[in-house]
Amino acid sequence: MKRLQKEYGDLQKEKIEWAEITLAGGSNLFEWNCKIQGPPESPYEKGVFLVNFKMPPEYPFKQPVVKFETPIWHPNVDDKGTLCQQVFGTWSPQLKIENVLGMVRQVMIEPSLASPLNVEAGELYSKNKSEFIKKAQAHTAQHAKK
């Protein structure tokens, strides 16, 4: 719990310009809500995405579960919004939520085609990237307006 308090406090002091972080219910250290601006030059750049981070009681020895509450059309996100845990690689207790936020943003820029949860999006990304971009942009405009 102290680790989560410190991480949350650090992120409140050292603001990340592309993310706004709050505790679920105003005080739940084990569940964070993050508003993430779509990365520039990605199909998601014109959107803001609410992403939920649930930390298990074993954190930092077990990685958080990351779920997009705002619908996103992405190869590594299933239809319920769950982000594929494999995109984090090998989890280490040295990693912080700030690192996970960066990984989420990076996967929005460059999906991992090794582990697609949305097979249709993954196939379109690998076969016709420009069509993938159009579809992801349209989905973003519909669901994740700034």
Catalytic residues: 84
With a CB cutoff of 8 Å and minimum separation 6, the contacts of 30 are: 4, 54, 55, 56, 57, 59
How does 113-142 read in b/e, with b if 16+ C-beta sit within 10 Å? eeebbbeebbebbeeeeeebeebbbebbee
